Amino acid sequence: MQIRPRNREQDDRYIYRMVYEELLPYANAARPDTRISRAEISRRLQQGIVWVIAPGRKGKPAGFISFFRRDRDLHIDMLAVDRHFQSRGLGGKLMEAAEQYGLERGCQTVKLFVDEPNPLAQQFYFRRGYTVSEYYPSYRCFLLNKHL
């Protein structure tokens, strides 16, 4: 599996599916009124950098990460791995690549949100050195950060 930049025409249908199947159920569990349109997903993907992990240059993505840099912070917007490829270290590889990107550009901290009803994602981040910096009860989510 290799990490490569997103190719809109080739990758977006798989990314949308991962958002709807792997991320949105947790957002809905935290906030049942959560709705996200394809246009909103597209807008979020356009705002940052998106990498996919796939078998080869033209392979179907098994996972993706979207992130952006603001000042000395790297913000992880979305990270998802297709359920058929989970528990193989792909999410960790995507996180490591994004963190390396941030380090090379002078970022000091990585920040991300994780939904309270997603304990597996919380464990994933805690194992990588992330800590809770805030809890937002109205959104039922945690803001996590890690110093690089």
Q: Which domains does the chain have, with CATH numbers?
A: 2-147 (3.40.630.30)
> Phi and psi of 40, rounded to 5°?
-65, -45
Res 39: pLDDT: 93
Q: Which residues contact 66 (CB under 8 A, 6 or more apart)?
A: 44, 45, 48, 49, 50, 76, 77, 78, 79
Res 83: pLDDT: 93
| Strand 109-115 relative to strand 141-147, pairing | antiparallel
pLDDT in tens, 40-90: 999 999 999 999 999 877 789 999 999 999 999 999 999 999 999 999 999
